[in-house]
């Protein structure tokens, strides 16, 4: 048996916190004139808590992705991040989100190279023939730079919103140390890294070339990544949006070091590393496009080779301001956005019912709901936001939920009926638009 799947059964029910119930009541009033959109929001906003969340006896929280019985560091953060603005006065939300942060810290200590973990040390794996150093806790060990950045992101946003500091114990600080040490190693992947990954399943994007070590890279100051946020292998292993996310995470860790741990030596180390990575992005990550002008590449190897594309997953080029690297009005980001939403991007599709960004992770002509939601969240005009919401509303295939990818000509053809991250990102867009008076 190469691939392990459990029946698609929701997690044990967790009671909806009062703050979540209040948001849904607010939506009932403000979206009453849009009955389908209201129902989509009422389905999607609580979906993570209702179907993918388990409160553990040790005070941590385990969050599965939906139709796969494992917790991705990346996915689980984005599955709960839309609840953070309501956590300050709600102890039940604090228990859920704070518990997830503590769970993440445990996982970083188990294996900082892994992207997805089991609920227990049950030795379940996505593929039982992966050639890498596996642990019984690890569901999948694809090193994606964003996984660790998302761990930092959740802790930072939660701290800023609630001002609670109980998550910042010695284990948390040691995990931050572990992340920085790994980033330092992966600045020199070929010379210093112990990591390799090969999956012998015949799918090229599931395995890293060159015996699991990756294609050659030049030193740039950036951090090497084996895989993209789509869980597909990188073509060139300096993923630009991933390194931008690392810059943001390093800035956030600086605040931990200065204001929580009062560790000025660690603070300076974080500043130095941030400067190195950011310099690499600006020096090696910008491509002079003949039509769009200077744009951010998706990947580079530091030898002058570039992968020019965008993927609907986060971090991607579309999500740069969402992550906080630059603001949405940044000129290079605006050039990059125009590129990503054009047919120059090989994974941008236009069909009879929708147009937007897909992914090499799904078949051609499949647009991702997450890509549309991110386009809406980073749009500067009300018109674009409203058009994106209309498109999302029209492409749920009457299931009442968002999906992964759907065919641009026929939204009834789609992947992943139960994909909580997509539901959460959609909820973010609708709630923000509702609060901004657009709906």
Give the per-residue pLDDT at 6. 42
* Per-residue pLDDT, 9: 52
Each domain of the chain, given as residue ranges in start order, spans: 18-435
Rounded distance between C-alpha atoms, residue 318 and residue 357, angstroms: 9
Q: What is the pLDDT of residue 102?
A: 98
Q: How many residues belong to the chain?
A: 439
Q: How far are the Cα atoms of 34, 312, 339, 401, 427 from residue 355, in angstroms, in the given order? A: 22, 12, 14, 19, 20
101's tokens: 């942060």
In 297-397, the DSSP E strands lie at 299-300, 306-307, 348-350, 355-357, 366-368
For residue 330, the SS3 value is: coil
**CA proximity to 231, closest of 380, 72, 60, 109:** 72
Quick one: which of 149, 276, 295 has its CA closest to 225?
Answer: 149
Residues contacting residue 303 through CB under 8 Å, at least 6 positions apart: 216, 217, 218
Of 428, 420, 407, 229, the closest CA to residue 310 belongs to 229
Q: Is the dihedral of CA 427, 429, 430, 435 positive or negative?
A: positive
Q: Transcribe 10-49 into DSSP letters.
A: PPSP-PPPHHHHHHHHHHHHHTTT-HHHHHHHHHHTTHHH
Asked if residues 269 and 260 have their Cβ atoms less than 8 Å apart, the reply is no
The dihedral through the CA atoms of 366, 371, 373, 379 has a sign that is negative
Report yes or no: 137 and 121 within 8 Å, Cβ to Cβ: yes
pLDDT of 67: 87
Report which DSSP code applies to 209.
T
Residues 105-153 have pLDDT tens digits of 999 999 999 999 999 999 999 999 899 999 999 999 999 999 999 999 9
DSSP β-ladder status, 306-307 and 116-117: unpaired
Which pair of tokens denotes residue 51?
């179907």
pLDDT at 13: 77
Q: Which helix (H) or strand (E) holds 414?
A: strand 410-414
Report the distance separating Cα 409 and Cα 412, nearest Å: 9
Backbone φ, ψ for residue 318 (5° rounding):
-60, -30
250 close to 223: Cβ distance less than 8 angstroms: no
- CA 429 remoteness from chain centre: 16
C-alpha–C-alpha distance, residues 325 and 244, integer Å:
6
243: its two tokens: 């390194």
Separation CA 140–CA 143 (nearest Å): 9
pLDDT in tens, the chain (439 residues): 233 344 455 577 789 999 999 999 999 999 999 999 999 999 999 999 999 999 999 999 999 998 899 999 999 999 999 999 999 999 999 999 999 999 999 999 999 999 999 999 999 999 998 999 999 999 999 999 999 999 999 999 999 999 999 999 999 999 999 999 999 999 999 999 999 999 988 899 999 999 999 999 999 999 999 999 999 999 999 999 999 999 999 999 999 999 999 999 999 999 999 999 999 999 999 999 999 999 999 999 999 999 999 999 999 999 999 999 999 999 999 999 999 999 999 999 999 999 999 999 999 999 999 999 999 999 999 999 999 999 999 999 999 999 999 999 999 999 999 999 999 999 999 999 999 999 9
Render 156-202 in DSSP notation, one character per residue.
HHHHHHH---TT-SHHHHHHHHHHHHHHHHHTTHHHH-----B--SS
The candidate with the shortest Cα–Cα distance to 238, out of 277, 204, 287, is 277
The pLDDT, as a whole number, for residue 31 is 97
Residue-wise pLDDT for 396-424, tens only, equals 999 999 999 999 999 999 999 999 999 99
Tokens of 111: 């294996």
CATH number of 18-435: 1.50.10.10
| Nearest alpha carbon to residue 51 among 75, 16, 17, 26 | 16
């Amino acid at each position: 048996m190469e691939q392990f799947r459990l029946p698609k059964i929701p997690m044990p029910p967790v009671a909806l916190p009062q703050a979540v119930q209040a948001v849904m009541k607010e939506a009932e009033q403000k979206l009453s004139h849009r009955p389908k959109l209201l129902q989509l929001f009422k389905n999607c906003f609580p979906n993570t808590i209702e179907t993918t969340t388990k409160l553990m006896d040790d005070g941590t929280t385990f969050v599965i992705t939906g139709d796969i019985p494992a917790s991705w560091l990346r996915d689980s953060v984005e599955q709960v991040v839309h609840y953070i603005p309501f956590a300050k006065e709600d102890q039940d939300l604090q228990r859920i989100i704070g518990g997830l942060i503590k769970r993440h810290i445990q996982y970083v200590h188990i294996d900082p190279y892994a992207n997805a973990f089991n609920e227990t040390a049950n030795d379940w794996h996505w593929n039982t023939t992966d050639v890498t150093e596996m642990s019984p806790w690890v569901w999948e060990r694809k090193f994606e730079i964003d996984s660790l950045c998302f761990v930092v992101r959740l802790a930072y946003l939660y701290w800023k919103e609630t001002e609670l500091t109980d998550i910042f114990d010695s284990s948390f600080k040691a995990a931050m140390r572990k992340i920085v040490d790994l980033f330092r190693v992966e600045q020199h992947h070929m010379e210093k890294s112990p990591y390799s990954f090969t999956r012998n399943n015949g799918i090229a994007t599931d395995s890293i070339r060159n015996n699991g070590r990756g294609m050659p890279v030049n030193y740039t100051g950036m951090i090497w990544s084996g895989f993209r946020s789509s869980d597909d292998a990188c073509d060139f292993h300096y993923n630009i949006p991933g390194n931008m996310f690392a810059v943001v995470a390093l800035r956030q860790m600086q605040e931990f070091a200065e204001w929580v741990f009062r560790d000025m030596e660690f603070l300076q180390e974080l500043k130095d590393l941030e400067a190195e990575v950011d310099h690499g992005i600006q020096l090696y990550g910008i491509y002079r496009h003949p039509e769009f002008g200077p744009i951010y590449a998706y990947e580079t190897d530091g030898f002058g080779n570039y992968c020019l594309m965008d993927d609907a997953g986060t971090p991607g080029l579309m999500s740069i301001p969402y992550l906080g690297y630059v603001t949405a009005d940044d000129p290079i980001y605006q050039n990059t956005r125009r590129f990503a939403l054009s047919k120059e991007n090989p994974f941008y599709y236009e069909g009879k019912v929708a147009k937007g960004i897909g992914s090499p992770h799904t078949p051609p002509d499949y647009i991702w709901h997450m890509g549309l939601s991110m386009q809406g969240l980073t749009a500067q005009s009300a018109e674009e936001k409203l058009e994106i919401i209309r498109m999302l509303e029209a492409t749920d295939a009457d299931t009442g939920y968002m999906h992964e990818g759907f065919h641009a000509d026929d939204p009834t053809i789609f992947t992943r009926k139960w994909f909580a991250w997509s539901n959460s990102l959609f909820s973010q867009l609708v709630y923000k638009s509702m609060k901004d008076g657009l709906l």
